[in-house]
Amino acid sequence: MPAEDDVVIPGAPASEPPALEEPTTPREPLPPKPDQRGPEAVSPTGSPTGAPTASRAQSGQYLTTAQGLRLQDTDHSLKAGARGPILLQDHHLREKITHFDHERIPERVVHARGAGAHGVFRSYGTAAKVTKAGFLAPDVETPVFVRFSTVLGSRGSADAVRDTRGFSTKFYTDEGTYDLVGNNIPVFFIQDGIKFPDVVHAAKPHPDREIPQAQSAHDTFWDFVSLHTEAQAHTMWNMSDRGIPRSYRTMEGFGVHTFRLVNAAGDTTLVKFHWKPKQGVHSLVWEEAQIINGMDPDFHRRDLADAIEAGAYPEWELGIQAFPDTEDQMFEGIDLLDPTKFVPEELAPVQPVGLMTLNANPTNFFAETEQVAFHPGHLVPGIDVTNDPLLQVRLFSYLDTQISRLGGPNFAQIPINRPHAPLNDMLRDGMHQTAVHAGVAPYRPNSLDGGCPFLAGQDMGAFVDVPEAVAESIKERRTPASFDDHYSQARLFFRSLGAVEQDHVIQAYTFELGKCFETPIRERQLQALANIDAGLCAAVAAGLGMPAPEATEQVPDRDLSPALSQLGATWPVAGRVVGIITDSSSDLAQVAAARTALDGEGMVPLVIAPTGGTLSGDGLSLTVQRTFLTARSTEFDALIVAGGQVPAPDATAGRDAKAGNPAGSPDPRVAIMLSEAYRHAKAIGAWGSGSDVLAAAGIPAEAPGISAGDAGAPVAAGISSLLAAHRAWDRFPATGQPSQGN
């Protein structure tokens, strides 16, 4: 049986364990942890330096000023006597405090709360026939940095809120940096970017009280989306389980807009980009998300970092939906320039073009994740934009935002943003200029610098804007008539979901609208729901104690899209977290066998015990990762019970309110964990006395999603099989699919 250290448990904060006493022998800084990697070492002008990625980290054994002057004291200010006033000449104090005062940069207006990781993208070459983009040629590997985020909350908000998630990828190609800046929802709230300040102002906390934070369950949001009915499609996605993903690793990504690809012959194709997670698309349930936001507000960023540290590298396939580049830019009656519309995969299959693997955590969150700057206008030859009116505004807005947020126009020189291609841009000076430019002629044509830089021809990889014809027209402020359908895709999405998922949508609308104070806003949104689906509207209205209105618009029915449902398939289980509940009476040999079996499937097994430390017996010693006090069901995808019958010493209301007043077996915290996991349709396993614990917690052994047996390894195998479907949804039958008739 493998040694315990063979099972990688993520979470160590440093690359080596700390000493008990304060270290006093000078030494070089510790290296990064094995799971970490910094930005590639390139110069501010894009030249490879050959230096290791850690070369920008601090160096030397001794504390210095920012100019390299060694210091003998950083704990005491320079004063006029031990009790005297501090002297203005204390240069170290002023440098240290001034820098601290300016440590925080303005956070992003939206997508402020995020997490990032390094990785690599390997192209399959299947896109080569529609684009000349070099990073999509056969077998090309390209370094990437990805940032995931919520939209509404501040940097200090919680992760598992109901919200849209950002999914942005920076490709460091040898033709320049390409940014695919998207979301986990393929449609957007608005059709024209001029409304972007409005929807964000409506969704953000109310300006008078700065509440509620990181949520859409309030009057201004629903006032906006009920008046701007083009937002109903995106809102429907947000009210579905897509709004509360299980993790970034199990989240789909979309480029949202339609882009134009150009191949080597100059032929053009319209496409939509998709990221498909190899582990499948999975979500939380609402009560689970609420508990998580109290117990672990960092749930999603911790999950991403821990998975990478444990070697369970997240993977996504990049795919494209391809459409003919026709003059009307329509496909099957869907306007491809309308960002509130998606194209069902049954009409245009997603064709895989490459695989992205995230395999390293950042070395420094601020330097990388916080300072990374994305822009949909960062393009490469072979990829161009379209006239989508939301995309057109983003091309201006993102660049403008980065200049403000990152202190000037030279944000591309920050290491995480530096291109991995030669750079000769004739841009000079400005705040935070770190390149030392040579030459005297930053203009062209010139002769004083030998004519450099020169213009590149198309045959030398230059970017050439697609020469699209612009029809004669009138200057005006309006959208085409094809943008006027605001309900059919929301109906298509809702009716394509499984009955369980539809129940969750009903619950989400009822909760969110129930938080609105003003009755007219609830009435207005119910009217929109009536136009989408009568059964949905009736169920939400009943929950609000309000009458359900009749539809006011005739909405066309479309063929359903089974691809929109998250249910019905099986997926790899690598990276799933399984808690093993133990105590002093547990058979540690069986616990070790279960851990080995789970680890062999790429899962992360965590031992939960009454207290911290180790469990010893049977010639084994197992480290405890969680205790009954610190564990909660929401951290785990599944639970296995191998103990927990005897209440722990701190199982008193005065020490832990969750413990209540224990009257016997099992420990009340164990009962809570199991009850929550059961309610949330999670897989639960048990063997031996663990089955008695399940019975004491009121969990029937014959219920769906229960793996019972006589030994650890078979129970772990059963858990693996159950987790492949994510949840045991058949444990709780849906209340019934709402009427689909109007």
Residue with more model confidence, 341 or 6: 341
Answer whether residue 143 shows pLDDT above 80. Answer: yes
The angle that helices 519-532 and 488-496 make with each other, rounded to 10 degrees, is: 80
Query: Which segment of 20-24, 198-202, 296-300, 577-581 scores lowest on mean pLDDT?
Result: 20-24
Per-position b or e across 296-328, b if 16+ CB within 10 A of its CB: bbebbbbbbbbbbbbebbbbbbbbbbbbebeee
**Over the chain, what is the mean pLDDT?**
92
The DSSP secondary structure of 230-279, one letter per residue, reads GGHHHHHHHHSGGGSBS-GGG--EE--S-EEEE-TTS-EEEEEEEEEETT
Q: What is the pLDDT of residues 179-207, one digit of tens each?
A: 999 999 999 999 999 899 999 999 999 98
- Give the mean pLDDT of 362-374: 96
Identify the pLDDT of residue 742. 46
Residue type at 388?
Answer: D
Answer whether residue 693 shows pLDDT above 70. Answer: yes
Query: Would you place residue 231 in the very low, low, confident or very high pLDDT band (cuts 50, 70, 90)?
Result: very high
The DSSP secondary structure of 438-482, one letter per residue, reads --S--SSS-STTTTPSPPPPGGGT-------------------GG
Answer whether residue 335 shows pLDDT above 90. Answer: yes
Rounded-to-integer distance, Cα 493 and Cα 339, Å: 15
Q: In this structure, what token pair is assigned to residue 56?
A: 């920008």
Answer whether residue 707 shows pLDDT above 70. Answer: yes
Q: What is the pLDDT of residues 478-506, one digit of tens each?
A: 888 999 999 999 999 999 999 999 999 99
Identify the pLDDT of residue 661. 62
Rounded-to-integer distance, Cα 197 and Cα 189, Å: 12
Is there a contact between 381 and 463 (Cβ–Cβ < 8 Å)?
Answer: yes
Identify the pLDDT of residue 425. 85
Q: In what order do the strands lie in the sheet with 638-641?
A: 626-627, 604-609, 577-581, 638-641, 683-687, 706-709
Is there a contact between 31 and 54 (Cβ–Cβ < 8 Å)?
Answer: yes
Strands 330-331 and 334-335: antiparallel
Q: In this structure, what token pair is assigned to residue 223?
A: 């006032």
- Give the mean pLDDT of 529-558: 96
Query: Would you place residue 737 in the very low, low, confident or very high pLDDT band (cuts 50, 70, 90)?
Result: low
Is there a contact between 621 and 739 (Cβ–Cβ < 8 Å)?
Answer: no
User: Catalytic residue positions?
Assistant: 111, 183
Q: What is the pLDDT of residues 82-100, one digit of tens each?
A: 887 888 888 888 888 887 7
Q: What is the pLDDT of residues 570-584, one digit of tens each?
A: 999 999 999 999 998
Query: Would you place residue 473 in the very low, low, confident or very high pLDDT band (cuts 50, 70, 90)?
Result: confident
Q: What is the pLDDT of residues 618-670, one digit of tens each?
A: 788 999 999 999 999 999 999 999 987 778 888 887 777 777 766 667 889 99
Is there a contact between 682 and 731 (Cβ–Cβ < 8 Å)?
Answer: no
Answer whether residue 67 shows pLDDT above 90. Answer: no
- For the entire predicted model, the pTM comes to 0.92
- Give the mean pLDDT of 676-685: 97
Rounded-to-integer distance, Cα 427 and Cα 104, Å: 27
Q: What is the pLDDT of residues 145-185, one digit of tens each?
A: 999 999 999 999 999 999 999 999 999 999 999 999 999 99
Is there a contact between 712 and 593 (Cβ–Cβ < 8 Å)?
Answer: yes
- Give the mean pLDDT of 557-571: 94
Q: Which of 247-251, 407-411, 474-478, 696-700 has the highest mean pLDDT?
A: 247-251
Is there a contact between 275 and 318 (Cβ–Cβ < 8 Å)?
Answer: yes
Residue with more model confidence, 738 or 252: 252
